[in-house]
């Protein structure tokens, strides 16, 4: 089939942002992310034109991941924001608003784009160096010897996502659950290399938020699980549960035995031969006094019945996602074949085994002897709020992990952005000729770009307000914050900013 239009060669433009269509797209995108920002941000419902699943959220990762963008400039911006959230899990809306506002403000000037980019990078470096310095007046240390600051940090992340639909009591409860789960992943013994444990989130729809909890070990879905006869129950509570972990399918299907060529004699049944081998393996498990067989895939019904009659418990279809955590928790080596004999070093151990129920879900609780692995059961009223809560808890967990690496936090409520804007304006008054020469710009050009940079930072603080608050009161708060920020910059001893935006909690 011939082309309707002839293929055109690629075209590189030095000023794609001046295009009207691009400008309108950026303005629309800026309005979307700006309206979602903060604890009182507006929710967005996303669905395609044909209907189907509807996503209700104000989180940047869910919002941008559900939307489709066609223009290359917007695609580049979205990929940058998503890359930021994949690394830090937080502040995606902050990055998107700052980028859009900075582009819009710089486009209003007559300064060349190359110079604006160079000076903006310089200003960004100044902000980063200041935030990492001891003289920074908008950061506070996080004390891990007290849970108060950690709790406030988690509470701040939860409060910024209104789609979770949490009351104050529920938000406090979820914050304590997330914090407890994080502390359970920290190993008791610290060696040369420290590795945090795993935290597995189990979502349960239709239950009360207050039913959410955290349990040590792993929870696996086991609707038809039976713990065997009473003769073996005493052994299960003595901390000596022997476990065999299989990563290969035990269904008996020939497609699961691997690649290669099979040579079969005439009259030999492959299915019967495979089943015979499975039963021989089951016989060895019984002779080795294995109490629990865990299979990543499916177990053959005949093998299941054979082991059940000999009081061996079976859990299958656990999936690949839990394999690594099971290996770390039990010390077992995954068995990749059902050929006998099985080395004794492949077996693992568990401390205890119980069944728990959350709503309609029956879960098997695998309790480790001593391992930094835990499961968080998250409950919420419906699918929409549960999905949002799960994403928020994952973000809070990642924020705590990053804080463990660098125990510092920044002030919220727009104070950090306002403080950095005041810092940049202060640095502009003391700019040196060597800096201007290195940037190849005049003092006026530097001042114009710096003013655009500061206005973009302050616009993030303005984005927190969505309810039409009294502009006079809002302006008074901003002026007081800027005065204290300026004082901290000029004073020999830094003064921390203590004013917070209305509705924000102090860390």
Residue 477 falls within a domain, yes or no?
Answer: no
Q: Is 296 helix (H, G, I), strand (E, B) or coil?
A: coil
User: Quick one: pLDDT band at residue 336, thresholds 50, 70, 90?
Assistant: confident
pLDDT of the residue at 492? 35
Check whether residue 132 and residue 145 sit in a common domain: no
Nearest CA-CA partner of 376 in 156, 166, 153, 184: 184
Residue 480 falls within a domain, yes or no?
Answer: no
Per-residue pLDDT tens digits for 258-267: 566 766 677 6
* CA torsion through residues 315, 316, 317, 318, sign: positive
Residue 485 falls within a domain, yes or no?
Answer: no
User: Quick one: pLDDT band at residue 165, thresholds 50, 70, 90?
Assistant: very high
Which residue, of 370, 401, 424, is where some domain finishes?
A: 370
Check whether residue 203 and residue 124 sit in a common domain: no
Q: Mean pLDDT, to the nearest integer, of 406-414?
A: 89
CATH code of 164's domain: 3.30.260.10
Q: Which of 194-203, 237-246, 423-432, 448-457 has the lowest mean pLDDT?
A: 237-246
Q: Which of 50-54, 123-127, 434-438 has the lowest mean pLDDT?
A: 50-54
Q: Mean pLDDT, to the nearest integer, of 141-167?
A: 90
pLDDT of the residue at 504? 37
Of 49 and 488, the one with more pLDDT: 49
Q: Mean pLDDT, to the nearest integer, of 155-171?
A: 92
Check whether residue 78 and residue 102 sit in a common domain: yes
Q: What span, in angstroms and rounded, lies between the C-alpha atoms of 322 and 334?
A: 12
Q: Mean pLDDT, to the nearest integer, of 121-130?
A: 95
Check whether residue 172 and residue 84 sit in a common domain: no
Residue 261 falls within a domain, yes or no?
Answer: no
Q: Is 211 helix (H, G, I), strand (E, B) or coil?
A: helix
Check whether residue 341 and residue 276 sit in a common domain: yes
Contacts of 312 (CB under 8 A, 6+ apart): 228, 282, 285, 286, 290, 291, 292, 293
Q: Please state, as a whole number, how many other Cβ atoms lie within 10 Å of the Cβ of residue 222.
A: 20
Residue 460 falls within a domain, yes or no?
Answer: yes
Q: Is the pLDDT of residue 225 over 90?
A: no
Q: At CA 243, angle to CA 238 and CA 247, rounded to 5?
A: 160
Element (H, E) at 447: helix 443-462
User: Quick one: pLDDT band at residue 239, thresholds 50, 70, 90?
Assistant: low
Check whether residue 118 and residue 192 sit in a common domain: no
Element (H, E) at 100: helix 92-107
pLDDT of the residue at 499? 30
Q: Is the pLDDT of residue 503 over 50?
A: no
Which residue, of 108, 125, 159, is where some domain finishes?
A: 108
Check whether residue 246 and residue 351 sit in a common domain: yes
pLDDT of the residue at 396? 93
Structure tokens at 348: 């693992």
Per-residue pLDDT tens digits for 16-57: 666 777 888 889 999 999 999 988 899 988 887 776 778 889
Number of domains forming the structure of the chain: 4
Residue 240 falls within a domain, yes or no?
Answer: yes
pLDDT of the residue at 416? 93
Q: Which residue range forms the structural domain that includes residue 56?
A: 17-108
Q: Is the pLDDT of residue 414 over 50?
A: yes
pLDDT of the residue at 230? 38
Task: Compute the radius of gyration of the chain from its Cα atoms.
Answer: 29
Check whether residue 441 and residue 340 sit in a common domain: no
pLDDT of the residue at 145? 84
Check whether residue 100 and residue 174 sit in a common domain: no
CATH code of 240's domain: 3.50.7.10
pLDDT of the residue at 392? 94
Check whether residue 241 and residue 290 sit in a common domain: yes
Of 354 and 21, the one with more pLDDT: 354
Q: Is the pLDDT of residue 235 over 70?
A: no
Check whether residue 150 and residue 284 sit in a common domain: no
Rama region for 206: left / alpha / beta (φ>0; ψ in -120 to 50; rest): left
Q: Specify the DSSP class assigned to residue 185.
A: T
Check whether residue 347 and residue 237 sit in a common domain: yes
Structure tokens at 257: 């035995």
CATH code of 74's domain: 1.10.560.10
pLDDT of the residue at 259? 63
Residue 5 falls within a domain, yes or no?
Answer: no
Residue 349 falls within a domain, yes or no?
Answer: yes
């Amino acid at each position: 089939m011939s082309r309707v239009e002839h293929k055109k060669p690629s075209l590189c433009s030095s000023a794609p942002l001046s295009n009207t269509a691009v400008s309108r797209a950026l303005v629309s995108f800026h309005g979307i992310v700006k309206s979602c920002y903060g604890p009182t941000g507006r929710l967005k419902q996303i669905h395609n034109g044909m209907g189907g699943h509807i996503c209700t959220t104000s989180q940047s990762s869910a919002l941008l991941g559900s939307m489709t963008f066609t223009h290359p400039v917007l695609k580049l911006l979205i990929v940058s924001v998503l890359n930021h959230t994949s690394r830090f899990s937080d502040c995606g809306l902050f990055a998107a608003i700052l980028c859009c506002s900075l582009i819009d403000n710089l486009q209003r000037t007559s300064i060349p784009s190359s110079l604006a980019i160079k000076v903006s990078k310089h200003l960004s470096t100044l902000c980063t160096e200041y935030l990492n310095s001891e003289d920074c007046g908008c950061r506070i240390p996080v004390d891990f010897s007290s849970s108060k600051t950690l709790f406030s940090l988690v509470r701040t992340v939860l409060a910024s996502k209104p789609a979770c639909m949490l009351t104050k009591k529920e938000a406090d409860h979820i914050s304590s659950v997330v914090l407890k789960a994080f502390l359970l992943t920290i190993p008791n013994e610290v060696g040369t290399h420290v590795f945090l444990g795993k935290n597995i989130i189990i979502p349960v729809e239709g239950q009360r938020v207050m039913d959410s909890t955290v349990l040590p070990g792993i929870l696996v879905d086991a609707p038809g699980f039976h713990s065997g006869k009473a003769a073996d129950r005493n052994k299960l509570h003595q901390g000596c549960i022997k476990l065999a972990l299989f990563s290969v399918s035990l269904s008996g299907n020939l497609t699961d035995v691997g690649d290669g060529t099979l040579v079969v004699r005439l009259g030999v049944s492959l299915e019967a031969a495979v089943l015979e081998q499975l039963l021989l393996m089951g016989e060895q498990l019984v002779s080795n006094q294995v109490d629990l067989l865990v299979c990543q895939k499916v177990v053959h019904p005949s093998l299941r019945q054979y082991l059940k009659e000999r009081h061996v418990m079976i859990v299958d279809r656990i999936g690949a996602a839990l394999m690594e955590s099971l290996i770390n928790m039990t010390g077992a080596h995954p068995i990749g074949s059902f050929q006998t004999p099985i080395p004794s070093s492949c077996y693992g151990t568990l401390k205890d085994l119980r069944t728990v129920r959350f709503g309609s879900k029956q879960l098997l609780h695998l309790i480790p002897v001593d391992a930094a692995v835990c499961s968080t059961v998250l409950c919420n009223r419906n699918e929409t709020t549960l999905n949002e809560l799960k994403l928020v808890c994952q973000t809070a967990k990642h924020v705590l992990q990053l804080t463990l690496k660098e125990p510092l936090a920044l002030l919220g409520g727009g104070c950090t952005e306002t403080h950095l804007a005041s810092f940049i304006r202060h640095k502009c008054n003391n700019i040196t000729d060597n800096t201007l020469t290195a940037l190849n710009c005049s003092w006026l050009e530097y001042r114009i770009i710096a003013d655009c940079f500061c206005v973009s930072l302050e616009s993030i603080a303005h984005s927190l307000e969505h309810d039409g608050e009294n502009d006079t009161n809002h302006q008074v708060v901003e002026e007081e914050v800027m005065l204290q920020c300026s004082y901290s910059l000029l004073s020999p001893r830094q003064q921390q900013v203590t004013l917070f935006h209305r509705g924000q909690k102090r860390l």
